[in-house]
Amino acid sequence: MKPSYRSTELEQEQEHLNKLYSKYTLNEDSQTRAMREFAFQIVEPYLDSGKCGLELGCSDGYFTEMLGSRLRTLDVVDGSIKFIEAARQRNLSNVSYHHALFEEFAPTTQYDYVFASYVLEHVLDPLSVLGMARRVLKPGGLVFIVVPNARALSRQLALHMGLYPDLTTLTENDLRFGHRRVYSRVLLDRDTEAAGFRTIAQGGIMLKILADFQMEKLIDLGILGEPQLKGLLKLGFEYPDLAGSLFSVCTH
């Protein structure tokens, strides 16, 4: 069922999203850029260039551009007009933008694919967002979900260093980027099942050995280059419980 929000709640949520805009500088963040590229590598084999998709949240359009290059048309919905304006600068001819909260988005069409990449950790009510995704997905369509992993090796290291009381604690970095929760595989599967989805593929994206700022430093210094990052990606497939992010491919 579609949730009902008061106008003040909608305004507060959109204000919250616009405040996050200044926190996201993906073009300057090589670690985040690598994770987006790896997420696209997971998604790409499933895509048919003659089909249409819906992306939930566009950030600065980096992932949007990759998706748009592989689809006939792509609709994007984002609650922040600032993110939409940034993504529009990429001048993608087959991409249309809609300024709305995910829970309130009510398109007149259905989609072959819905992409929720690094979205569910941000929203007020993940089940409402997944419910919307299910409503707009064509029969036999696919939804692609990516979320940060509560059990990433880096978080487990921080736990054993005494930095956090448990793995579900929102870190300073989580709060900085507006995260409201952190997912384990069990919690992600629970939410997708509760929303009526069936998971057909799942796994981990890139073994994450250190915190974001440390990974970023190693990449910038050239200590972690393309061979090492590709190796960490493969290790994420082998050890998904320790990966930096989790992915699910679902249908209904």
Say whether pLDDT at 169 is over 80: yes
- What pLDDT, on the 0 to 100 scale, is given for residue 26? 53
Residues 110-147 as b/e (b if ≥16 CB within 10 A, e otherwise) read ebbbbbbbbbbbbbbebbbbbbbbbbbbbeebbbbbbb
pLDDT of residue 176: 86
Mean pLDDT of 55-66: 95
Cα 102 off chain centre by: 13
Closest CA to 155 of 119, 184, 192: 184
The rounded percent of the chain whose pLDDT value lies above 90 is: 78
DSSP annotation of 195 reads T
Contact 149, 168 (CB under 8 A): no
Q: Tell me, what's the pLDDT at 3?
A: 54
SS3 247: strand
pTM: 0.90
Torsions phi, psi for 190 (to 5 deg): -65, -45
pLDDT per residue as tens digits for the range 128-142: 999 999 999 999 999
Amino acid type, 134: R
Whether pLDDT at 61 is above 90: yes
Name beta bridge partners: 248: 145, 202
Question: φ, ψ for residue 245 (rounded to 5)?
Answer: -135, 155
10: tokens are 């909608």
pLDDT(250) > 50: yes
**pLDDT score recorded for residue 5:** 56
Q: How far is CA 67 from the centre of its chain?
A: 13
Q: Picking from 14-18, 127-131, 212-216, which range would have the lowest pLDDT averaged per residue?
A: 14-18
Q: Which domains does the chain have, with CATH numbers?
A: 7-251 (3.40.50.150)
The whole-number pLDDT of residue 8 equals: 67
Contact by Cβ (8 Å): 183, 121: yes
What is the band of 1 on the pLDDT scale with cuts at 50, 70, 90?
very low
